[in-house]
Each structure stands twice: as structure tokens, then as C-alpha cells.
Amino acid sequence: MTAVSALMESIFGSDFRLTVSDDILNKYQISVEMDKQQHGVTWDSAIKAHDNRGHVHARSIVDFDEYYNETYIKK
């Protein structure tokens, strides 16, 4: 389940596709496509970063955790 789907279900319930307006459903579909594109970019970036670190998993994971904390965790 994507974050977009989880949000829609939390707001409108699990059968939201049957109960929301066409406008909201269209915006949902656009959001799902944007989410897919963002995941693709993240996937490609992760592979490139992993290659740049000599395929050492531990270094790639630590670097991502540091990036995520600096970018998304507000202190």
C-alpha cells in the first residue's frame, strides 16, 4: 500500500473508490502516478549510490538514514 492509498483509506474508508467524487478519484490517480515516478527516481538513485559505495550495503544504509534524518526529521 502506498502512502497515498493509506491516506485516502484513512479519510474515506477502504471502499473510497466507490464513494468519492470523480474529481477526488482523478486527483487520487494523479497522486498515485506521481508516487510511482518518485519511487522510480528513488530506486534509480539508490542503485547509483550503492554502486558509488562499492556495493557495501552497510555504507549505503547508514548514508540513507543520515540523509533522511537531516531532510525529514525536524529538530
Q: What is the pLDDT of residues 10-58, one digit of tens each?
A: 999 988 888 899 999 999 999 999 988 888 888 888 778 777 777 766 6
| Residue range of the domain that includes 70 | 22-75
- The answer to whether residue 57 is domain-embedded is yes
- The answer to whether residue 5 is domain-embedded is no
End-to-end CA distance of the chain: 28
Q: Look at the chain and report how many structural domains it folds into.
A: 1
- The answer to whether residue 7 is domain-embedded is no
pLDDT at residue 62 is higher than 70? no
- The answer to whether residue 17 is domain-embedded is no
Q: What is the per-residue pLDDT for 22?
A: 92
- The answer to whether residue 26 is domain-embedded is yes
Question: pTM for the full model?
Answer: 0.58
Q: Which residues of 40-52 are buried (b: 16+ CB within 10 A; e: fewer)?
A: eeeeeeeeeebee
Q: Which amino acid is at 63?
A: D
- The answer to whether residue 15 is domain-embedded is no
C-alpha cell at 46: 539508490
C-alpha cell at 16: 473510497
